[in-house]
Structures are given as C-alpha cells and as structure tokens.
C-alpha cells in the first residue's frame, strides 16, 4: 500500500482560498472568471498594487475586455469592488484574502466608480446576502445585491431589519426585488428603523385591514386574498395612511353604494399619481376639480348657438290652404 504525504512548508508562496468560495461561488461561475479571481488573490499579498487589467490579460492569455467582464461578474456576486481610472487603471487591494472577497480601487485620481460598496461590516453583509438567498430561493443577481446594498447603506437599515423585510415580503407572496424595494421605501418614509418597529407596524396593518372592511360595511369575516392584495398595495406601495384609505372607501360607497376594491383602487391610484399625502391634499384636489367643472360650464353657456341647418329656401313655415274658400273669395270680388 502506497502512502501519500502532503506537506505545506510555504507561507508567502501559498494562496489561501476559502471553502466558501469553492462550495458556493465557484460551481456557478465561468471558468475564465474563476481564473481571474484566483490570479487577483494570488497577487493580493505581494504589494499594495495589483496587476492592471492589461497585465492580467497577458498573464491569463485573454483580452482586457475579458478581464473587465470578470470584474463585473464578481462585483455582481458581492466578492469584488473596483474603481477604474484612465489611463493606467492601476489597482489597489483594500482587504485581505482571508475574507474571500476583494475590494479594488484606484490609487489616485477621479471617482469614476462602478457600483462601489463600502460595508461597515463585511461579514454581517455577507451573512445577510446568504440569508436573502435562502428566503428568495435563488442565487442573487447583481440587481438583487445592488438593492440590498441600497437598503443597507443609503437607507441605513440594519441587517436584522432587512432580513425581516425580505421575510415579510416572501411570506406574503412577493419575491420580486422591486416589490421588496417599494416596501423598504415605505418603511423608511414611516421612520421604521428596527425589526421590532416593523413587526409592530405589521400588527397595526392587520388592524387596518378590518377597519377597511368596516368602512365597506363588511363584518364577521377576514379579508379575502384579493382584498389583502389591494390593501397591501395601498399600504406598502402607495404608502397611504389609514385615514386616506378610509376616505377613498367612503367615496366609493357614496358613489356606487357597494363595496368595490377596484373602484377604491382607482381613486387611490389617482391620488398617488398626484402626490397626495394628507386629507388636506385631497381637499386641494377637490377644490381644483370643482373650479375646473365650473369653468367648463361657463364656457358652454357663453358659446354661440349653432345654426339650425335651415337655409333661405326653407325658412318659411309650411302653410295649409282651403282651395274652396279661395275660389269663393275670387267669385265675390
């Protein structure tokens, strides 16, 4: 029986690659992209400056465009960040290879960045992306990652809040990142900063559902799935307060005298397009509508009447004559 002995006597002559990269990222990546990632990792500890894309292209016997496509792919996966600077495009590493991610930026010059992300806690953010993939049931696209980055950095949402945000949307049948972003913006406008506040808001939302049913005169049952979809749209997408929604429900009942979520949605959609936020805004719209209606009525009353279509040959009224009477008059003359 032969014995196989593996030794590792090198230190700087070894490039460390995390198992997470091998297990999670490598199987789905193009082989050329993997080569680019490994080459960057290989040179990461040599100095503060990484090889330029042109140098990497020579080392890997490919084109510079191939290198840049690889950069964008790994950036979309959340493992690499870079800034490009003309003309030399020199690169500089900002993190260690033990983090299984690279951040590449220009040594000096302009701020011509491509989706640059500077996470305060990279480990926390990577874990958040992993959790998001589990909830959404798919590998995150560049669009997904950019949206989550926007929640994390620009909206300053905590990782716990973003995790609950995704859980909340998925549990309610919405996995679209565009829908999730609308809910995130709605929470941000309501100054929801923690997962606990979001959960409290969800309980309040459930109470609002029954308030809306009551406004329609519906009692003794829970809202149907189609009704919930409308209510979520008004609450999450339009970000309307309960009083605005109830006002639209009241107008629906006054106009058609029966519950109709579609009719109410048409009212709220119109208010949303006209940037309504309060009942005072609704009053302003009502006043403008009343003025426009009055102006139209005045214009119609002041316009000259249209000709009847009768010409000079038929302006006379038709007359009937008694021929016997006419004959008698002639004889008497």
What is the crossing angle of helices 159-171 and 122-136, to 10°? Answer: 0
In this structure, the strands spanning 91-93 and 49-50 are: antiparallel
Range of lowest pLDDT (69-78, 200-209, 222-231, 313-322): 313-322
Sheet with 49-50, strands from edge to edge, namely: 49-50, 91-93, 102-105, 80-81
Looking at residue 115, its pLDDT comes to: 37
Range of lowest pLDDT (13-17, 188-192, 199-203, 320-324): 320-324
CA atoms within 13 A on the CB side of 88: 11
Distance CA 151, CA 157 (A): 6
**For range 315-324, the mean pLDDT:** 54
**For range 9-34, the mean pLDDT:** 76
Distance CA 203, CA 201 (A): 5
Is-cis flag, bond preceding 93, omega within 30? no
Cβ neighbors of 254 (< 8 A, separation 6 or more) are none
Looking at residue 304, its pLDDT comes to: 63
pLDDT, tens digit, 9 for 90 and up, residues 63-94: 888 888 888 888 777 777 665 544 443 443 33
Distance CA 15, CA 43 (A): 9
Looking at residue 81, its pLDDT comes to: 67
Q: Encoding tokens for residue 294?
A: 């009055």
Band (13; pLDDT cuts 50, 70, 90):
low
Residue with the larger pLDDT of the pair 258 and 298: 258
Instruction: Give the H/E segment covering residue 81.
Output: strand 80-81
Looking at residue 163, its pLDDT comes to: 94
Q: What value does the mean pLDDT of the chain take?
A: 76
Distance CA 210, CA 225 (A): 14
Asked whether residue 2 carries a pLDDT value surpassing 80, the answer given is no
Residue 26, Cα to own-chain centre: how many angstroms? 30
Task: Point out which residues pair with 291 in neighbouring strands.
Answer: none
Asked whether residue 125 carries a pLDDT value surpassing 80, the answer given is yes
pLDDT, tens digit, 9 for 90 and up, residues 234-249: 988 888 989 999 999 9
For 80, phi then psi, to 5°, come to -150, 140
Residue 172, Cα to own-chain centre: how many angstroms? 16
Looking at residue 33, its pLDDT comes to: 86
Band (308; pLDDT cuts 50, 70, 90):
low
Distance CA 160, CA 157 (A): 8
Annotate 107-142 with DSSP letters as a single string.
SSS---BSS----S-HHHHHHHHHHHHHHHTSPPPH
């Amino acid at each position: 029986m032969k014995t196989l002995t593996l030794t590792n006597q090198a230190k700087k002559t070894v490039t460390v690659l995390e198992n997470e990269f091998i297990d999670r990222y490598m199987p789905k990546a193009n082989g050329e992209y993997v080569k680019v990632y490994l080459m960057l990792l290989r040179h990461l500890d040599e100095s503060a400056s990484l090889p330029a894309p042109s140098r990497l292209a020579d080392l890997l016997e490919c084109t510079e465009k191939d290198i840049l496509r690889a950069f964008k792919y790994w950036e979309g996966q959340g493992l690499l960040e870079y800034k490009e600077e003309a003309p030399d495009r020199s690169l500089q590493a900002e993190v260690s290879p033990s983090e299984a991610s690279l951040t590449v930026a220009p040594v000096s010059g302009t701020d011509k960045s491509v989706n640059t992300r500077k996470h305060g806690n990279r480990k926390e953010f990577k874990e958040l992306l992993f959790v998001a993939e589990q909830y959404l049931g798919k590998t995150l696209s560049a669009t997904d990652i950019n949206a989550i980055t926007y929640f994390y950095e620009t909206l300053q949402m905590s990782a716990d809040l973003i995790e609950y945000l995704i859980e909340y949307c998925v549990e309610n049948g919405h996995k679209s990142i565009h829908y999730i972003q609308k809910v995130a913006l709605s929470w941000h406008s309501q100054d929801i900063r923690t997962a606990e506040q979001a959960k409290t808001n969800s309980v309040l939302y459930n109470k609002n559902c029954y308030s809306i049913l009551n406004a329609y005169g519906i009692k003794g049952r829970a809202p149907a799935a189609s009704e919930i979809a409308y209510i979520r749209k008004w609450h999450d997408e339009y970000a309307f307060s309960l009083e605005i929604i109830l006002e639209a429900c009241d107008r629906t009942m006054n106009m058609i005298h029966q519950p109709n979520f579609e009719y109410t949605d048409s009212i709220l959609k119109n208010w949303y397009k006209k940037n309504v936020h309060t009942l005072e805004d609704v009053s302003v719209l009502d006043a403008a509508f009343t003025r426009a209606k009055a102006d139209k009525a005045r214009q119609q009353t002041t316009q000259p009447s249209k000709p009847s279509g009768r010409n000079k040959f038929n302006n006379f009224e038709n007359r009937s004559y008694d021929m016997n009477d006419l004959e008698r008059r002639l004889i008497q003359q």
